[in-house]
Amino acid sequence: LVFAKCEGKAGAFLVEKNSPGFSVKPMSGILGTRASMVAELQFDNCHVPLENLVGKLGFGFSYIAASALDYGRYSVASGCVGIAQACLEACIKYTNERKQFDVYLKEHQLIRQKITQMITNTKAARLLCYQAGYLKEINDPNSIIETSIAKYFASTVATKSANDAVQIHGGNGCSSEYPVERYLRDSKIMEIIEGSTQIQEITIAESGYQNYLISTVPTVMEKKLAERT
């Protein structure tokens, strides 16, 4: 599915792989998410039939692209929770087994501080994803901004957790024999794709300036409590 302008209007087009003038160039050497098979789509005087236009001109970009980006952000946010959780589990295992000067790493207060932050941030990110998912399920219009909030927080949490995980692992954290170096590479990608961290900051702040009060949006727990009463 390709978005392009036609007669000055943006549209969505189905471009088949064997279309003349269309080719796919795999990208290698990327920082993270190396299993995602990222590729560059190349168009050289590529023509597609009119029936490959999805909907009317202007519809594809305004509806399909916006909807796909929203769900993409939600998927990335959920994936970031997974990265943060993996970092936490790796660090608990490592600090439970690794000794420094005859003392397990888990006994150091600084290590416990970082573990505490990982636990708290991961739980908070997961709840933000649950909140956004619930609002999507009931077709609440606030789900879009809540998804941006979830993506923003979860991606920054994943990067911080991964960075701390590498630090906790020390020299081993720089080795591919341990998974935390991959978590760090992958988490940074998550802050860029589906709307960068800076884009989310602009979007969330703009929503706030448009008289959107985050505190007035009922949380999932608040909704359930209201139903019981």
- Active site amino acids: 194
Identity (one letter) of the amino acid at 120? T
By C-alpha distance, which of 219, 223, 222, 36 is closest to 129? 219
By C-alpha distance, which of 155, 189, 185, 184 is closest to 167? 184
Task: Name the maximum alpha-carbon separation found in the chain.
Answer: 72
Check: CB of residue 141 under 8 Å from CB of residue 207: no
Quote the CA–CA distance of 144 and 46 in Å, as a whole number.
Answer: 34
Chain-centre distance for alpha carbon 128: 12
The sheet with strand 53-54 has its strands ordered as 2-6, 9-13, 53-54
When computed from its CA atoms, the radius of gyration of the chain, rounded to whole angstroms, is 22
